[in-house]
Amino acid sequence: MAKTKTKFICQNCGYETYKWLGKCPSCNEWNSFAEEIYEKRKGIKKDLRDISVENLIDVKIDQEDRIKTSIEEMDRVLGGGVVKGSLILVGGDPGIGKSTLLIQIANNLSLRKLKVLYISGEESVKQIKIRAERLDLKSNKLYILSETNLDIIKGTIEKISPDILIIDSIQTVYNPDITSAPGSVSQVREGTHILMNIAKRKNIATFIVGHVTKDGSIAGPRVLEHMVDTVLYFEGEAYHSYRILRAIKNRFGSTNEIGMFEMRDVGLVEVENPSEVLISERPKNTSGTIVVPTLEGTRPMLVELQSLVSPTMFGMPRRAAMGIDYNRVTLMIAVLEKKIGYNMENYDVYANIVGGLKTKEPAIDLGIISSIASSYRDLPINSKLTVMGEVGLTGEVRRVSFIEKRIREAEKLGFNIAIIPKANMKDLNKIDGINIIGVNNVLETLDIVLEG
């Protein structure tokens, strides 16, 4: 007989204890422990004679092991396509477009004669049909099921044997053998573990949708992210139509790639040239704005960086940053005060990347300093000028990676002046159509940016 016991599990981080605690010692969350019943079962021993090992050099890989989704932005983030037998976790805020993206992927794959099974625990079959008609999706190889019972889901997978499986969402799926409620740590962990075994055993590429908590992390235990092969986050602002798909874990590709989409009436549409979109509404002859090339994975993008410096009405000046690391902004303000002599103790400083994009790349340091100095002195920057470079605490401008790729992206969109670190000049090939200027420190940069 299996022995039944109870334990308390933190619903925020998955920490387990045999007695109730008011505060979780792992994540410091209050009142997050829930009592769950579990059973100790004896494991089934496997015959060691059935185990076989292979020499790594003898393993053959075919190009067909990756499946193209017909959405280039999605394929870029996944590292070239969906790997057969992989388990992919897709997270994002409610209403951001997770289900829309996945049903579009399901339709595209089914049009390529692949058998796709879409299982939803949040919508009925008719509701899914209404959404598919709104998105004008028509395929005879796309199978849908509205179910939350894991036993029925397993039986359906065995019966249909799909090439692609989509679970929307993992928080609604429950195992009837576990007494805790759907969405609890035990249910999420057990459900993901069973789906992972099915995906690996039957070589089914599986997408699972995960809800996020108020702080933006995947709901449930962190072990959920460790179990899957790929973790994708869908980002975007509620009042912006643009969405960014970012990989934070990928066993089959780079974790630095991003994909950009625009939400329209017909669903999510790929943005082929993000640079042009992000700087299309840039104001002319206005102080505090500059365009900076940034790099996301292998993709160069031009982003508009804006700053506003205004006299403070209180004794304590305010600093705010949106889309940029707040600590980087305060460091750049300190460099301006110490090395340039700007008196900013009586000024509020606001910095923002337009379009809802977020980046922590150090190469935008020179852009932060230039835009703040432009707003502080109320001097507009040449609209055809761009800057790039990391700034040290002594005011020196340090080299950045992939400098040529950044400059070519700027030249392609009509910029004719690029200010870069002098250390990058010696490795740079000649680029026609743009004047490249190397600088050693912040003072040299501002002399060109604000006076040139």
Q: Which of 270, 260, 447, 223 is closest to 357 using CA atoms?
A: 260
Interval 265-287 mean pLDDT? 86
94 assigned ligand-binding residue: yes
The tokens describing 432, both together, are 């026609």
Is 370 marked within a binding site? no
375 is in an annotated binding site: no
Over 90: is that where the pLDDT of 436 sits?
yes
**Does 315 carry a binding-site annotation?**
no
pLDDT band of 38, cuts 50, 70, 90: low
Alpha-carbon span 422 to 234, nearest angstrom = 37
Q: Say if residue 97 carries a ligand binding annotation.
A: yes
The CATH number that domain 64-272 falls under is: 3.40.50.300
pLDDT at residue number 215: 55
Task: Return the top range by mean pLDDT from 280-289, 295-304, 361-370.
Answer: 361-370
421 labelled binding-site residue: no
pLDDT at 105: 94
Which amino acid appears at position 381 of this protein?
I
Q: Residue 193 is which amino acid?
A: H
Average per-residue pLDDT in the chain? 87
323 assigned to a ligand binding site: no
Please check if 46 is assigned to a binding site.
Answer: no
Look at residue 258 in the predicted model and tell me its pLDDT.
Answer: 85
**53 pLDDT higher than 90:** no
At residue 266, the pLDDT reads: 85
Fold (topology level) of 276-451: Ribosomal Protein S5; domain 2 (3.30.230)
Task: Give pTM, 2 decimals.
Answer: 0.77
Q: pLDDT higher for 206 or 265? A: 206
Q: Which sequence spans correspond to the domains of the chain?
A: 3-40, 64-272, 276-451
Predicted local confidence at residue 327, as pLDDT: 94
Angle at 333 between CA 371 and CA 235, to 5 degrees: 65
Q: Give the pLDDT score at 222.
A: 59
Position 274 scores a pLDDT of 84
